[in-house]
Amino acid sequence: MNLKPYGDTALLLDCKSLDEAQRWFAALHDEAEVVLGARSVLLRGDPAALRSLVGRTSPASSTGSAAGQEVEIRVVYDGADLDEVARLTGLTPVEVVEAHTGTPWTVAFGGFAPGFSYLAGGDPRLQVPRRDSPRHRVPAGSVGLAGEFSGVYPRESPGGWQLIGRTELAMWDTSREPPALLTTGATVRFVVA
């Protein structure tokens, strides 16, 4: 882990892996204002106090503030890229669905848009590249894959992930507390709708 200044009121923990970043986040989230990234943790506050905090803290053995929470997401697997994902992985479309639903995913971190969560830890056979050409319009509820991650688009937006299905479940709802359905550390299980 490498600790770097990040402006006048923040530090960035630059980690070697998602797992290391998640463990630092779990250890620090009750002690400081922190934001988890793919391989980093941003800490906001007085840099001297933050350096001291990091110096007396060890990465946690668990990786999330919502560990133990489980969310089931019902998916209709009819995505525009399902056949392409099958081709890229050497699986059949049915096997892609079985792999996506057969392994629990963990909410690694949020980003891209309010309510969008990067889900990690699924079946490693589903690691596929982003599309060569992003779409201008991806409908809300689209379930996609990119690299080691899966995710659900919380609203209509441009996007370059490989789309394998869709859900009616709202990922972001300002009338809900918290508005984001998925929080860091939660387990997500995809099921066939």
CATH of region 70-192: 2.40.100.10
- The answer to whether 12 and 39 are in contact (CB under 8 A) is no
Tell if the pTM clears 0.85, that is, is over it.
Answer: no
Residue 154, preceding peptide bond in cis (omega within 30° of 0): no
User: What are the residue ranges spanned by the domains of the chain?
Assistant: 2-55, 70-192
CA 152 distance to own-chain centroid: 9
CATH of region 2-55: 3.30.1360.40
Contacts of 41 (CB under 8 A, 6+ apart): 12, 13, 15, 21, 24, 25, 28, 34, 35
Q: What is the pLDDT along the chain (193 residues), one digit of tens a residue?
A: 789 999 999 999 999 988 898 889 888 988 999 888 888 999 999 999 999 999 999 887 755 455 568 999 999 999 999 999 999 999 999 999 999 999 999 998 888 889 999 999 999 999 999 999 999 999 999 999 999 999 999 999 999 999 999 999 999 999 999 899 998 888 999 999 9
Q: Are domains 2-55 and 70-192 of this chain identical in fold?
A: no
